[in-house]
Structure 1
């Protein structure tokens, strides 16, 4: 007999966070999320999401055994900005059992419907600014930093509950030495041309990090505002993300474009910290996980090109090409093995074509689903 239980205390929350570790214990590609980070994210008062929105976590049990989990998410900022009544679901993990998946999806849908939501979209772990979507192609290796991972059977489980495709996301891979470096050769020429328009490209100033973050947020919220389901990050949310990223970023991989002191473009790439996190059993930093993390962090040779955007009015001037070129140049100099550009929307032909022109290979696809409730 299976039943659904709403998570209401710290013990249940710990079980919710730990369930994927047990589900994927024999999967060599699985990367555990850090327990403390997940705990903070899902605890009201710890993460700024809870200041404007709500969620309810659910666990599926068969007897006394946990067999699945899901979060029902009411993102009020999303609905206010997009003028919708859309609910979200996230943190979906489940054994390969249709009944369990149906019970989980139904529990989330019921909770959302009671709050006057008319549709359900996901997987989205709070918003598209966070980890989102379901891996549907490319199960041949671990995910890179801040990208999702799941078993192949999840797609069928979700589709059988009535969820259908809303949009697909793409990830492209670059292998060291196997890319078109034409943009690299043109980078300095483009950079000089931009200077004539008082546009300079520079690395982020880590000595003035928090002032830089304020400017980056403005570009981020402005450059991506036309993306499907985009929700501008609040000041506190962006600060929260920046605080986490500061611990892993390499400033050599963060470039900004400025015109007369105004930031108009950004390129953010981060070392693939998953190369270290995959060694941290059950996501626990104590007692020995912290030492493993510090040790393996030094050996990282992978990169995630996480965000590259330019404000309206400054696009197609060569800024994007210059940012790509400088990232590739640094990638070469640091002798990295691979880079993943992720994620992009399937219909963003301008960005996807630019990546493909420098020999980025489409190697993973992700899907966000939706259904009326």
Structure 2
């Protein structure tokens, strides 16, 4: 017998977080999320998202065993920003059965419709500021840090339930030696030209992290405001994310563009911590996971280029190329083996072209789907 159960307590939340470990137990590419991080993310009062918006978690049980999970999400800030009544689904994992997926999606429909929402979009875990997208191309290896992973059959399940493509997200890959040395050499000339406009490129100053964090938030909310579905992060949301990233940040991989001491753009790459997390059973730091994390973090030889943005009025001046080039130069200095630039919107040529010019190879695609209720 199958039933859908709303998550309302710690035991059910634990089951919700742990289900993917069971579903992907035989998949060598699966990377478990840290339990403590997922618990805080999904607990009202822990994550600042809950100060303005609401979610409901659901479990699908068969004879008491979990066979699926999903979250219904009402992002109030999204709807205020765009004047719409849209909802999201996220944290979707399910066995390969259309009937099982339908039971979960129906719960999302009902929950959202009760709130006057007329369209559902996903998978999106809260917003496009967090993990989002369904992997549709590139199942040949583990995901990099903070990128989603799912079985290939997920797209078939969701399309069979009436979901259609909203937009594709791209991931590009560099490997040691395959980036364009010629393009990197041109960056020195571009930087010299920028200096004539009082624009300089530097690394983040970790001694003034709070001040830097506030400046980067302003740039983030301005530089990404035209992206599809973008919602400005509140100060608390940005600080929460920045403080988490600070734990693994290498300041050489956070590069800032400024004019007259005013930040106008930045790029951020983070170590691919998934190289370590893939070895931590069920995402538990205790009793041995923390030791492994501390020990193996130093061995990470890949990065994810997570963010790159320049505020309006300073675009198409070569700043984007300098920021990407600065990351790749550090990639070379630190003898990294690979870098992933992700994600970018499929139609964002202003970002995609510089990535390709330096030698990035499109190797994975993720899809956000939608359905009218």
Would the TM-score normalized by the shorter structure come out above 0.5? Answer: yes
Consecutive unaligned residues in structure 1, runs of 5 or more: none
Partner residue, 1:319: 319
Q: Residue 344 of structure 1 corresponds to which residue in structure 2?
A: 344
Following superposition, the deviation at residue 183 of structure 1 comes to 2.6
State the superposition RMSD in angstroms.
0.7
Partners of 1:247 and 1:87 in 2: how far apart? 32
Counterpart of 1:93 in structure 2 is 93
Report whether the alignment pairs 1:29 with 2:40.
no
The Cα shift of 1:160 comes to 0.8
Q: Which residue in the other structure is 2:51 paired with?
A: 51
Within 5 A, what are the aligned runs for 1:143-154? 143-154=143-154
**What is the Cα deviation at residue 335 of structure 1?**
0.2
SS in 2 for 1:298: helix
Dislocated runs of 4+, deviation >4 Å: none
Task: Identify the residue that residue 204 of structure 1 maps to in structure 2.
Answer: 204
Q: 1:100-111 to 2 correspondence within 5 Å?
A: 100-111=100-111
- The 2-side partners of 1:279 and 1:167 are apart by 33
Counterpart CA distance in 2 for 1:201 and 1:357 is 20
The 3-state SS of whatever aligns with 2:101 is helix
User: Matches of residues 1-373 of structure 1 in structure 2 within 5 Å?
Assistant: 1-373=1-373
Query: Per-residue CA shift, 1:48-106, capped at 9, x if unaligned?
Result: 00000000000001111110000000000000011110000000000111110000001
What is the SS of the residue equivalent to 1:16?
helix
Contact 1:279-1:293 at 8 Å conserved across structures:
no
1:122 touches 1:132 (CA, 8 Å); kept in 2? yes
Inter-partner Cα distance in structure 1 for 2:50 and 2:114 = 19
SS at 1:145 equivalent: coil
Is this contact kept in 1: 2:74–2:87, CA < 8 A? Answer: yes
Cα deviation per residue 1:339-367 (whole Å; 9 max; x = unaligned)? 00000001112221221122211100000
Please give the secondary structure, in 1, of the residue aligned with 2:120: strand
SS in 1 for 2:299: coil
Shift of 1:182: 2.2
Deviations 1:312-344 (A, max 9, x none): 100111111111221111110000000000000
Q: Residues of 1 paired with 2:246 and 2:59: CA distance?
A: 33
Give the total of aligned pairs.
Answer: 373
Structure 2 CA distance for aligned equivalents of residues 226 and 181 of structure 1: 32
| Preserved CA contact (<8 Å) 1:96 1:153 | yes
TM-score (norm 1): 0.99
Give me the TM-score of the superposition, normalised by structure 2.
Answer: 0.99
* Secondary structure class of the residue paired with 1:270: strand
Deviations 1:180-218 (A, max 9, x none): 122310222221211111111100000000110000011
User: Which shows bigger deviation, 271-280 or 347-356?
Assistant: 347-356
For 1:310 and 1:350, locate their aligned partners in 2 and report how far apart those are by CA, in whole Å. Answer: 11
Within 2, Cα distance between the matches of 1:324 and 1:170? 16
CA contact (8 A) 1:310 1:319 kept: yes
Q: Residue 271 of structure 1 contacts residue 300 of structure 1 at CA under 8 Å; is this kept in 2?
A: yes
Segments of structure 2 that go 5 or more residues without pairing to the other structure are none
**How far apart in 1 are the matches of 2:186 and 2:178?**
18
Post-superposition Cα deviations, 1:113-147, rounded to whole Å, max 9, x if no partner, equal: 00111100000000000000100000000000000
Q: Does structure 2 retain, via aligned residues, the 8 Å contact 1:183–1:324?
A: no
> Which whole-Å CA distance do the structure 2 matches of 1:305 and 1:12 have between them?
35
User: After superposition, what is the alpha-carbon deviation per residue over 1:254-291, rounded to whole angstroms, capped at 9, x for unaligned?
Assistant: 00011111100101011101001111100000111000
